[in-house]
Structure 1
Amino acid sequence: MGSVKQFQVTFDCAQPERVARFWCEVLGYVVPPPPGNFTTWTDYDRSLSPGDRDSWFACVDPSGVGPRLYFQRVPEGKVAKNRVHLDVRAGTGLAGEERLATLEAECARLVALGAVRVRLLSADGENESCISMQDVEGNEFCLD
């Protein structure tokens, strides 16, 4: 049996392009070129039947290292806590006040993009501080 070489993270959401563009800004990801012979994503979207328009969007790590993020439109809204969430690793290798200052600065940047700060989880001797947040559609993630 072979090992997995790549994976993508899929988000269920109401507005795929809006959520994808938010995560592009958060992670430094980019929107890949449109499929086929289309010159723009708008042209591609117009080629679809009305029910399929704006049904998905994706973004990729420009370095090719991180997973592809895929956003698909679903009819129902979010009703419970995510079973899986992303940890945005902004404070890796930092501790104490330096880590907290770095996390707070990144939190302010993400709030300006439309994220919501939920709460600070303070260092407890076993884990360093992190900030619980939500993206533009309420999906939880940690600023770690």
Structure 2
Amino acid sequence: MNDDDPIHIFRKGESVITFIKSFGAGIGLSLAASYAAEIDAKHLFYGVHKDDKVFNENNREFFTLMSKAISIEIGTEFNVHTPFLEKSKAEVLKLGYDLGMPAEETWSCASNSSIHCGWCDPCQDRINAFRKTNLNDTTLYENSLVKSSSNA
């Protein structure tokens, strides 16, 4: 992947954030929507899933209102899509596997690193999703003990 790949827009920060702040989805979607508007895209797909509902903004109403706010700002209809909002991380992983998605090319980690840390909540969710689906986790984790135990 090159540095301009919009899929990795949230991984470009210089500092490490130890936890997601309130309105984290709103901030991230605002940045992504700004980029989308720049390239004249009208749709943004956000991979939030049911297990992310621990954050208050991860609900259908929030994403509908974000779509409306972004549409007002850019002057044309814009839609934030959340196709996995009602699916667990394990269900999303299994669906991707069934569709031939190369899991090793996906990213879950909240750290600012070139490999998954293995400690943060998103990494733990990833490890647990692989366990629940009995799929082989080939993810390279900074914490190799986590990697070893995820395949046990």
* TM-score when normalising by structure 1: 0.31
The structure with more helix, counted as a fraction of residues: 2
More strand, by proportion = 1
State the structure with more CA Rg.
1
Higher relative contact order (CA 8 A, sep 6+): 1
